[in-house]
């Protein structure tokens, strides 16, 4: 699943690919915004991403479904 995080005062977005469910990511975002000091996520390669909540502009949580690939999907 792809997660896009808009950070204040940065022209580029942070894009994170994770194996977590949309519900788990949304819960982590809510927890961070409700009083946590940082949003913590783990990407598909096991790296940990930490974003201070004071700098988060928005979080876009993509769908978990895979897009079809190849000629068989026509």
Q: Is the pLDDT of residue 16 over 90?
A: yes
Q: Would you say 61 and 16 are in contact if contact means Cβ atoms under 8 Å apart?
A: no
The confidence score (pLDDT) of residue 62 equals 87
Confidence of residue 42 (pLDDT cuts 50, 70, 90): very high
Report which of 21, 12, 3, 1 is spatially closest to residue 61, judged by C-alpha positions: 3
Contacts of residue 17, defined as CB under 8 A and 6 or more positions apart, other chains included, come to: 1, 2, 3, 43, 44
Q: How many CA atoms lie within 13 A of 42 on its CB side?
A: 6
Task: Give mean pLDDT, residues 24-49.
Answer: 94
Higher-confidence residue of 38 and 66: namely 38
């Amino acid at each position: 699943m792809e997660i896009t995080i808009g950070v204040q005062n940065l022209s580029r977005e942070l894009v994170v690919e994770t194996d977590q469910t949309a519900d788990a990511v949304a819960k982590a975002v809510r927890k961070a915004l409700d009083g946590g000091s940082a949003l913590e996520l783990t990407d598909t390669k096991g790296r940990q991403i930490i974003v201070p909540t004071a700098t988060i502009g928005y979080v876009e949580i993509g769908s978990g479904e895979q897009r079809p690939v190849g000629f068989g999907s026509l």
